[in-house]
Amino acid sequence: MRTKALFYRFVMFCLVYVAVQGQESESIGTQEVLVVKSYTPSLSDAFKINSSPVSPDSLLTKDKVLEFKIKSVPVVSTFVPNKATPLKLQRRSSRTPYNTLFSGGFGIKSQLFLDVSSVIELDRTQRFGLKIYRDGFGGDLPNTILKSNQQFSRFGVHHNLRSNDYNANTLLQFATTKNNYFGLYDRDWDNLLILGVDPAIKRSVFKIRTHWNWYDFVVRAIEFQANLTTDNFDTSEQQLSLKADFEIELGDGKITATTEVKGLSTLFRESFFGRELQEEQIGVGSLGVHWQNTSSDFKLKLGAGMAYSSKMDGFSSELLYYPEIDLSYQKKGRVMVPYLKAMGGVKMNSYQSLYSVNPYLAPTTTLNPTFSKYNASLGVRSSLSSILNFNFGVVYDQIENFMLFERLPFDGSNNNDSYRLSNSYENKYTNLDLYGFKATIRIDLAKNNFVRFGTKYSYFNTNSTQQLWNVPSLEMNWEGQFNWKDNLTFTFQGSLLGDRIAAYCPIFLNQQVDNVQFQEENVPLFVSTTSHVAYKLSDQFDVFVKLKLNSVGPHGRWLYYNEPSFLLLAGVTYKFDFQY
């Protein structure tokens, strides 16, 4: 037993000794271990990339209905309030609350009026428009041997694309007009000849036009247009036009330039005198450059332009130069504003533009451009207390190939062609100097209530033997609008043409069509006015009445083409929102 106790004591001693020696040895230092491992992302990490925020389109999303909850709060009071109701948000009405308008009516002389237009927002950047229009009367005018009804219709679609940088408009349009060569002289006509004549002249125009505007670019605008014109006498006309506007900032002002190229190709089945195929091809190019500054009281636009035409008949030089000047001085607090304006240029005369002025133009004529060398006016305009505004100025111009209409003679071998009975027109050209004055006065009575009256008197000085047929020296025009309580609206507009001389072509047996002496015939002044009265039944329904009055007599704007003295039409207008 003693031996075992000694053995245990020895073992314990050894363990205590080893522990003491371990405490006296050096301590173990702290070390860092870096573990390198390749990155192996999981598929879910791909969804950690934030997507770009997208704002909802207010035109395509539905409005949210706001709900309010009234929370009662206990108070020490004997006042008992009424139950409150939450306010509802109301959409503010716009100026055009409806995107579609339908207007139609009937009147005397078998009038049929139709006007349908719609503008639909496709999204925040695009709009689409539609236009259908028809007007005219089906009944004949009194004291006319041939049919004298008139009709006009138009169908078009329009697209608008807009952004913060540009605005683009594109138009497709198809228009038709129907008139009759009914302006025969007051004489005894052969019934067999009259019965075999169809006096109708039907014309159609297809137009495509696109116009682009840039807000902050050197090229500010580009416009392209193409027209195709036809009629029932096998006439065909194609027109092309390209125009570009440029603008560069320079100091306090800017330099702007406009370049334009026009061309037409017109084919007539036969000329009036020779009865051979007639073809007209004309091209006109122009360039205008000017500098303008409107930052001070003295506003100015200084520049010039030049033009070239492939057909130079009647022009004095191969290159045509003209000014582009617009000067005015308007100091703050002064009501009188003197101005000087001279904007010359070259105008393309096409078959389509000519019959738009005179619908009784024969389906064969001579086409030449017209050059206005100055087209200048010097005058003063004023605004008195924002109610009375007037403009008075003198005008001056030198015009080469001034265009006018001359009546064609009677063709004995007319072959039942309605325009060969000395009842149609061709256009003639002459060079002249123009002097005159113009005056305009406008009175603004209240909001949307105004009256405007304008007059122009011209004196023509020419050394040519060509008579100025159907060119009045005095011209007047007027318009106005009156509105009562936003329910009743009355508008009117009209014009007056002064006395003028027209060509009278006497008819003889066996006369030569190319050897007729014209006689002068005085045409009295012609007055035409139109009135429109509309009454609003509701926000969507209106009723209207249109009244047109013309001078009574055998002569209208053109010799022996009288106008209807009285036309009355009534109808209704309905506005609504079309949802696509």
What secondary structure letter does DSSP report for 525? -
**pLDDT at residue 86, rounded to an integer:** 57
- Beta strands 449-461 and 474-484 are antiparallel
pLDDT digits (tens, 9 = 90+) for 109-168: 999 999 999 999 999 999 999 999 999 999 999 889 999 999 999 999 999 999 999 999
Query: Which residue shows structure tokens 């306010």?
Result: 87
Average the pLDDT over each of 12-16, 114-118, 230-234, 247-251 and give the range with the smallest value. 12-16
**pLDDT at residue 59, rounded to an integer:** 46
Cα separation, 57 vs 486, in Å, equals 34
Which candidate, 225, 222, 231, places its Cα nearest to that of 202? 231
> For residue 176, how many other CB atoms are within 10 A of its CB?
15
More confident residue, 244 or 40: 244
Query: Which residue shows structure tokens 């000694």?
Result: 6
Q: State both tokens at 424.
A: 């149609």
Cα separation, 576 vs 580, in Å, equals 13
Q: State both tokens at 102.
A: 């339908």
Cα separation, 227 vs 155, in Å, equals 15
The mean predicted confidence, pLDDT, of the chain is 86
Which runs of E-coded beta strand occur in 23-149? 100-107, 111-121, 126-137
**pLDDT at residue 510, rounded to an integer:** 76
274: pLDDT confidence band, cut at 50, 70 and 90?
confident
Cα separation, 519 vs 407, in Å, equals 11
> CB within 8 A of 393, min separation 6: which ones?
339, 377, 378, 379, 380, 437, 438, 439
**pLDDT at residue 231, rounded to an integer:** 96
Can you name the residues that pair with 337 across neighbouring β-strands? 381
**pLDDT at residue 25, rounded to an integer:** 43
Average the pLDDT over each of 27-31, 171-175, 333-337 and give the range with the smallest value. 27-31
Cα separation, 385 vs 422, in Å, equals 55
Which runs of E-coded beta strand occur in 409-510? 425-446, 449-461, 474-484, 488-497, 500-504
pLDDT digits (tens, 9 = 90+) for 55-112: 455 444 555 555 555 555 555 555 455 555 555 555 545 455 789 999 999 999 999 9
**pLDDT at residue 451, rounded to an integer:** 96
Contact 209, 224 (CB under 8 A): yes
383: pLDDT confidence band, cut at 50, 70 and 90?
confident
Average pLDDT over residues 303-316: 93
pLDDT digits (tens, 9 = 90+) for 179-233: 999 999 988 888 888 888 999 999 999 999 999 999 989 999 999 999 999 999 9
Domains in the chain (CATH in brackets) are: 100-576 (2.40.170.20)
Q: In the predicted model, is pLDDT for residue 27 greater than 50? A: no
- H helices of 165-320, in order, are 191-195
Percentage with pLDDT > 70 across the chain: 83
**pLDDT at residue 549, rounded to an integer:** 95
5: pLDDT confidence band, cut at 50, 70 and 90?
low
41: pLDDT confidence band, cut at 50, 70 and 90?
low
Q: State both tokens at 14.
A: 């050894």
More confident residue, 309 or 48: 309
**pLDDT at residue 44, rounded to an integer:** 46
314 SS3 class: coil
**pLDDT at residue 334, rounded to an integer:** 80
Residues in the chain: 580
The counts of H helices and E strands in the chain are: 3, 26
